[in-house]
Every structure is written in C-alpha cells, then in structure tokens.
C-alpha cells in the first residue's frame, strides 16, 4: 500500500493497468453485448472491376457500446477469440445475415451473395457445420447466397480437421473464400485440396501495387493462378484509382475497398446498391 503512494511506482502501475483494465472491461462487456443488442452488421460492397456493378458484399460486425463508444472488430474480435465469446458472436452474425437476406428478398430486392467471416477458433467447435446448418434451416435461408470467409492461417492450422468441415459446408451449398491471401503462409499445397470458390488478395499487396514492382508481379501471378484453378479473385483494400486500373488490367474479377465504398449500414447499402426485381 505504501508503495502505491510513490509517484514512480504509481505511474508504472497506471500505464500497465490502463491497457489491462481496458481489456478486462471489453472481456466483461462482450459477454452481454449480444443480449443488450449492441452489435450491428455493416456491409461492404464487392464490385466487378470491369463494370462497377456489385457482385457481392462482406458483412462486418460493429460494436457500439453505450459508454465505451464504438469498439473496432480489430480490437474486440481477438479478445472474443481468446475468451470463447466468438462462438456466440459467430452464430449471431450468421443469423443476422440470414435475416437481412430474407428481409431484402421478401421486399423483392435482387441480392448478390453475402460473405461472413469465420474465425479460426470457431473451427474448434465440433458442431460447427451442424450449428451453421441449423441457423440457415431455422431462418429458411438459401446457403447459395452465403460465402464463408476463412483465413489462410485458420485453414492451414489443422488441415485434417478443417477439410471435412469445408466439404460439409460446400455440400450444404455455401461458397468458400480464402481471406487475407498472401499475408501469412507461403505454402500453396492446400489450395488444390480445399473446395474453394473465391480467393481474396490481402490488402498489403494491393497497397504496394503501384509502388513496388515485386508486389505487382506477385499480384498478377496470384490472379493468373486463381483463374487457372477456376477461382474468382477479389482484391481487398483498394483505395485509389491507380490501384483499381492496375487490377483491372490484371483481370482481377472483383474489387473491395474505400475507393468504392466502406462498409455501409443495411439501409445505406440498400439505397446505394440494391435494385428491385421488377417482374
């Protein structure tokens, strides 16, 4: 107790404890966030590099806490993964996507596929595939409309256990995308083993596209390889017209990034991008 009076000790103590307490706070608050309706989903359009038409969108979670304010998924998803709350969050996200899809379809909007992020940790649940199946079944949602995004690192982690789950998801009708491609692993062997439909080039490549020849060469090689394997390619993090032009020249199929639009609320996405099926 006496030491806490000491200025130096207290300073040291406070700087450690502020990060520590913030994390503890988030950990605790995360447990109630679903019940308290603090999450929303935003949707980022993915457009054809040729026509600019929307071909898909990615659902991205947003957490607005009454006193902490908005907390970015980059900060809270790793904590949710550590503590296990990601299991419930993951189910909430998928269910919300299914419900949104239903709302749009019943209002006669033409809706392209919606991508949902799956965390590596979710693959550790033995009932992952069946819980995903339950959600689409209960909401009467067509899995053809849904793309499951998995990261290279989560899928490479334990190929033997992930592969059957991916095949099961494919057999339900889901599409599979590899997220953040090029960021972590250099081994390519899994690409031919996995039942993948879409490959997403990590934004670190895109950001160096027009300044670094090697990034450009690699990006072109990734696109050509993907097409050779019948995969569609999405470039992430496209922020400038130069990057877009470059990717278009390289025949990249789809573009996602701030240059097109950031993640939008469902209402914004609807007004800006969706059209009704008039027949």
Closest to Ca ion by CB, 236 or 253 = 236
If binding is defined by CB under 6 A, does position 234 make contact with ligand C2E? no
The answer to whether residues 150 and 169 touch, using CB atoms and an 8 Å cutoff, is no
Smallest gap from residue 177 Cβ to Ca ion (A): 8
Instruction: Show the site string, 113-152: x = touches ligand C2E by CB under 6 A, - = not.
Output: ----x-x---------------------------------
Closest to ligand C2E by CB, 84 or 189 = 84
Q: Report which of 235, 277, 226, 224 is spatially closest to residue 260, judged by C-alpha positions.
A: 235
- # of chain residues touching Ca ion (CB under 5 A): 5
Among 166, 203, 254, 255, binds ligand C2E (CB under 6 A): 203
The answer to whether residues 59 and 93 touch, using CB atoms and an 8 Å cutoff, is yes
Q: Report which of 56, 176, 46, 51 is spatially closest to residue 110, judged by C-alpha positions.
A: 56
Q: Please report, as residue ranges, which positions from 135 to 174 form the binding site for Ca ion (by CB under 5 A).
A: 149
If binding is defined by CB under 6 A, does position 72 make contact with ligand C2E? yes
The answer to whether residues 195 and 170 touch, using CB atoms and an 8 Å cutoff, is yes
If binding is defined by CB under 6 A, does position 87 make contact with ligand C2E? no
If binding is defined by CB under 5 A, does position 253 make contact with Ca ion? no
Please classify residue 223 by burial: count the beta carbons closer than 10 Å to its beta carbon, then call 0-12 exposed, 13-18 middle and 19+ buried: buried
Point out the residue whose Cβ comes nearest to ligand C2E: 257
Distance of CA 7 to CAs 20, 166, 240, Å?
20, 56, 49
Closest to ligand C2E by CB, 250 or 264 = 264
């Amino acid at each position: 107790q006496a030491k806490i009076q000491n200025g130096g000790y207290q300073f040291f103590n406070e700087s450690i404890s502020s990060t520590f307490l913030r994390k503890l706070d988030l950990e605790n608050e995360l447990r109630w966030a679903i019940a308290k309706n603090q999450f929303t989903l935003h949707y980022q359009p993915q457009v054809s590099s040729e026509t600019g038409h929307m071909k898909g969108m990615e659902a991205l979670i947003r957490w607005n806490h009454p006193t902490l304010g908005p907390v970015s998924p980059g900060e809270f998803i790793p904590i949710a993964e550590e503590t296990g709350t990601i299991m419930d969050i993951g189910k909430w996200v998928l269910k919300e996507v299914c419900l949104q899809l239903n709302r749009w379809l019943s209002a006669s909007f033409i809706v392209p596929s919606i991508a949902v992020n799956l965390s590596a940790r979710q693959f550790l649940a033995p009932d992952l595939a069946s819980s995903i199946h339950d959600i689409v079944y209960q909401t009467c949602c067509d899995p053809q409309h849904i793309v499951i995004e998995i990261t290279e690192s989560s899928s490479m982690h334990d190929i033997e256990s992930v592969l059957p789950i991916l095949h099961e998801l494919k057999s339900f009708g889901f599409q599979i995308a590899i997220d953040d491609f090029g960021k972590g692993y250099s081994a390519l062997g899994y690409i031919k083993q996995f039942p993948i439909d879409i490959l997403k080039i990590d934004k670190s490549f895109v950001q160096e596209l027009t300044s670094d020849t090697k990034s450009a060469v690699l990006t072109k090689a990734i696109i050509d390889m993907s097409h050779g394997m019948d995969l569609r390619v999405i470039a992430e993090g496209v922020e400038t017209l130069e990057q877009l032009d470059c990717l278009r020249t390289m025949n990249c199929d789809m573009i996602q990034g701030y240059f097109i639009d950031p993640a939008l609320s469902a209402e914004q996405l609807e007004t800006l991008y969706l059209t009704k099926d008039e027949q």
